[in-house]
Amino acid sequence: MATTKELRGGAKWALSLNAWLVYFFFYAPIALLVVFSFSDDNLVGRWGGFTTRWYGEFLDNDGVQNALGNSIRVAILSTVISVVLGTMAGLSLERYRFRGSRMFDALLYLPVIVPDVTMAVMMLIFFTSLDDLIGLQITRGFSTITLSHIAFSISFVSIVVRARLAGMSETLEEAAQDLYATRWQTFRFVTLPLILPGIIGGALLALTLSLDDVVITQFVSGPGSTTLPVFVFSLIRRGVSPLINAVSVVMLAASAFLVLLSLLAQRSRGGSVT
Amino acid sequence: MTDSGNTTAAVTISGITKRFGDVVAVDNIDLEIADGEFFAMLGPSGCGKTTTLRMIAGLEFPSEGSLKIFGDEVGTLPPNKRPVNTVFQNYALFPHMTVLDNVSFGLRMQSTKKREAASRAQEMLDLVQLGEMSARKPSQLSGGQQQRVALARALVNKPKVLLLDEPLGALDLKLRQEMQTELKSLQRNLGVSFVFVTHDQEEAMAMSDRIAVMNEGKLLQVGPPSEIYERPANRFVADFIGQTNLLDATVEDEDHIILTNGDRLRAPSPHRPGTSVAMSLRPEAISIGERGSTPAEHEATSLVGQVESVTYLGHAIDYVVKIGWIDLEVRGDATAGTRRFSAGDSVSVWWDRTSDWVVAD
């Protein structure tokens, strides 16, 4: 451990104040949200005594339940597909040079850079032109949302997987082949276990991105097929009810759980790969 | 098989060239490695020795030429189809597996039953004195122990040829010397050919039955260590192997050369008159004495000069003797009773005619 210099007087005081301010800005809204989700008052920001009725309403409200179900289905399906495709893309780019691999490499990062709105418009135009050009009609809704989520998740997955692969020496794969492993066995017993933390990390990232997305989903969703964040957004426009607080707390808890999982996954497999 | 004799070479390389794009890594080499031989491939980095080893392993495919292992052409067979195993430079142990799983990996891939694979791996680990460590992860072992695991992991498969890529490079000096002895006795007990890549000439000399010296993709000389040391094929080999004095000269006739200063020395060589050559003289082959004390029989191979510097080594004394146009390194005797010289002394140096060696450029 490097020794840190002892700060004196004012500097020390200012720094710790700064830290407390940062924490305050981070967590005060969250704390407020959680507190008011238990408030027995019809206004979002007013305390009216303790209740759990908003959570009850959360469980009873068909709109919320429908949106939640959609969100989970979209998230799982798009994560599974984008993890497979993203891992394959990462592997091919990191381990092989092929015609157009540089171009593919550059293009793969595009969805990370392009603003959500642009991506959303692109996807919308894409689905419309599929209909216009080749007569392929995809009903706006579950399938279009899932396809769009896959489209942007692949990039994130492949970036995380590649980072892991780059830290793993190719000699290990050569050693496996030297020890009579076929290509498939090499992947199954050496490459895959070693990049698994990357794949898990990528999957959790894809899951979170899919559960969170509002903009793109809003553009490509159809009537009756919204995801939870989009539903919450529309609730706000209709007039705010503390139900939103309850829904948000549930989403917050789910995200926190995913983050915790990803941390645990990284810790248990954290050994360096050389 | 068209093989005439009853001894098939372990590895037969004929006319192998390997190109990476425009770079010729290995340039048309021919090589035969005998069964049961401890064979070293020696050269500076980038000389093509590792590429040659990787071609035997199947990790690279030759651009041209033929490569046989015990008579079977393996040129483009993938590594998992070859009866050879490799000890990699940084061991390449699988970090997510235990030591035992590492060692049994090859057997498992050849569909050996799990229990048999484990017991054979355990036996092999006992052989390299790591029986106790089988449940550990490679990261919990020292460098020397990892090296032994890598060795066990390769040998448990009973390869027909064991390939070693700078296996001792990452170890400290003392451990390296221990492993040299151990590797050698292991090889003798198993009777398997070891093909060993190194840039360390002392290591190659100490361990191998034969050495192949490579430079810039070309095979310069193949032979037993003594031959490589005493009868180097050319200037590069003479200079690369051990310490030597290289005296530039021109061939006069069959028996004589003319040094750059005009001195005429008796030194038979097969080169044509007029060829520019160098005479290689090992420091330990040169005797030193007071000026004029050259024994009569060595008059034809003697020079006079002045001691320039003296380095006391304990078991020997290194002198640098200025001959006028060149500085000669001379290894002198340090045993009690021998005359020692100091800087500035006028001396004569001479050598036995059998210990000089004329090399072409």
Same domain assignment for residues B266 and B222: no
Whether B241 contacts B213, CB under 8 Å? yes
List the domain range (segments joined by +) for residue B49: 11-230
Say if B58 is an interface residue toward chain A (CB within 8 Å): yes
Indicate whether B43 and B149 sit together in one domain: yes
Note whether B105 contacts A174, CB cutoff 8 Å.
Answer: no
- In this predicted structure, what is the pLDDT of residue A270? 46
Q: In chain B, what is the greatest distance between 2 CA atoms, to the nearest angstrom? A: 78
Q: Do residues B45 and B170 both lie within one domain?
A: yes
Mean pLDDT score of chain B, rounded to an integer? 90
B150 and B252 both lie in a single domain: no
B166 with B256, same domain: the answer is no
Q: Could you give the ipTM of this predicted complex?
A: 0.84
Establish if B4 belongs to a structural domain.
no
Rounded Cα distance, A189 and B170, in Å? 27
Residues B201 and B263 in one domain: no
Domain CATH for B272: 2.40.50.100
Same domain, B226 and B321: no
Q: Write down the pLDDT at residue A109.
A: 84
In degrees and rounded to multiples of 5, residue A4 shows phi and psi of: -95, 145
Q: What is the pLDDT of residue A95?
A: 82
Q: How many CA atoms lie within 13 A of A10 on its CB side?
A: 0
* Confidence (pLDDT) at B260: 84
Interface residue B59 vs chain A (CB under 8 A): yes
Residue A269: its pLDDT value, please? 53
* Residue A233 pLDDT exceeds 90: no
Give how far the C-alpha of residue B33 lies from the chain's centroid of Cα atoms, to the nearest Å.
Answer: 14
Which of A97, A169, A179, A191 is best to mutate for the B interface (most B CBs within 10 A)? A179
Q: Is the dihedral of CA A182, A183, A184, A189 positive or negative?
A: positive
Beta bridge mates, B276: B250
Q: Decide if B237 is inside a domain.
A: no
Percent over 70 (pLDDT), chain A: 94
What is the per-residue pLDDT across B100-154, written as a single tens digit (0 to 9) for each? 999 999 999 999 999 999 999 999 999 888 999 999 999 999 988 999 999 999 9
Select from B90, B105, B139 the Cβ nearest to the Cβ of A171: B90
Query: Domain holding B86: CATH number?
Result: 3.40.50.300
Asked if residue B6 belongs to a domain, the reply is no
In this prediction, residue A3 has a pLDDT band, given cuts at 50, 70 and 90, of: low
Q: What is the pLDDT of residue A60?
A: 85
Q: Which amino acid is at B51?
A: T
- Condensed to tens digits (0 to 9), the pLDDT of residues A48-80 reads 888 888 888 888 888 888 888 889 999 999 999
What proportion of chain A, given as a percentage, has pLDDT over 90? Answer: 29
CB pair distance less than 8 Å for A175 and B86? yes
Estimate to the nearest angstrom the gap between the alpha carbon of A265 and the chain centroid: 16
Residue B2 scores a pLDDT above 60: no
Mean pLDDT of chain A: 85
Query: What amino acid is encoded at A99 in this protein?
Result: R
Both B63 and B102 in one domain: the answer is: yes
Please give the pLDDT value at position B1: 40
What mean pLDDT do residues B315-344 have? 87
CA B268 from chain centre, in angstroms, equals 27
Last residue of a domain, one of B201, B230, B259: B230
Q: Which CATH class is domain A71-220+253-268?
A: mainly alpha
3-state secondary structure B163-232: EEECCCCCCCHHHHHHHHHHHHHHHHHHCCEEEEEECCHHHHHHHCCEEEEEECCEEEEEECHHHHHHCC
pTM: 0.80
pLDDT at A266: 63
Q: What is the pLDDT of residues B206-257, one digit of tens each?
A: 999 999 999 999 999 999 999 999 899 999 999 999 889 998 899 988 888 8
Q: Do B58 and A178 touch (CB under 8 A)?
A: yes
Domain assignment of residue B255, yes or no: yes
Contact between chains at B96 and A193 (C-beta distance less than 8 A): yes
Residue-wise pLDDT tens digits, B168-205 = 887 888 888 888 998 999 999 999 999 999 999 989 99
Secondary structure element (H or E) that encloses residue B153, with its range: helix B143-155
Tokens 């009725």: give the residue: A53
Structure tokens at B309: 């510097």
Interatomic CA distance for residues A116 and A220, integer angstroms: 12
B57 CB neighbours in chain A (<8 A) are 178
pLDDT exceeds 70 at position A202? yes
Asked if the C-beta of B20 comes within 8 angstroms of chain A's C-beta atoms, the answer is no
Domain residues of chain A, as ranges? Answer: 71-220+253-268
Does any domain span residue B356? yes
Q: Are residues B219 and B247 located together in one domain of the fold? A: no
The pLDDT value given to residue A55: 87
* Residue among B80, B92, B154 minimizing CB distance to A172: B92
**Could you tell me if B184 and B252 lie in one domain?**
no
Helix axes A142-166, A192-212, angle to 10 degrees: 140
For residue B287, being part of any structural domain is answered with yes
Give the model confidence (pLDDT) of A111-128 as tens digits: 888 898 999 999 999 988
* CB-CB under 8 Å, B94 with A172: yes
Given a cut of 50, is residue A41 above it in pLDDT?
Answer: yes
Number of compact structural domains in chain B: 2
Beta-strand relationship, B23-33 and B84-87 = unpaired
Does some domain include residue B236? no
- Axis crossing angle, helix A228-238 with helix A243-268, rounded to the nearest 10: 150
Same structural domain for residues B194 and B260? no
B3 domain residue, yes or no:
no
Chain A residues with CB under 8 Å of B86 CB are: 175, 178
Chain B residues near residue A270 by CB distance under 8 angstroms: none
Count of all residues that appear for chain B in the document: 361
* Residue B96 and residue B193 in one domain: yes
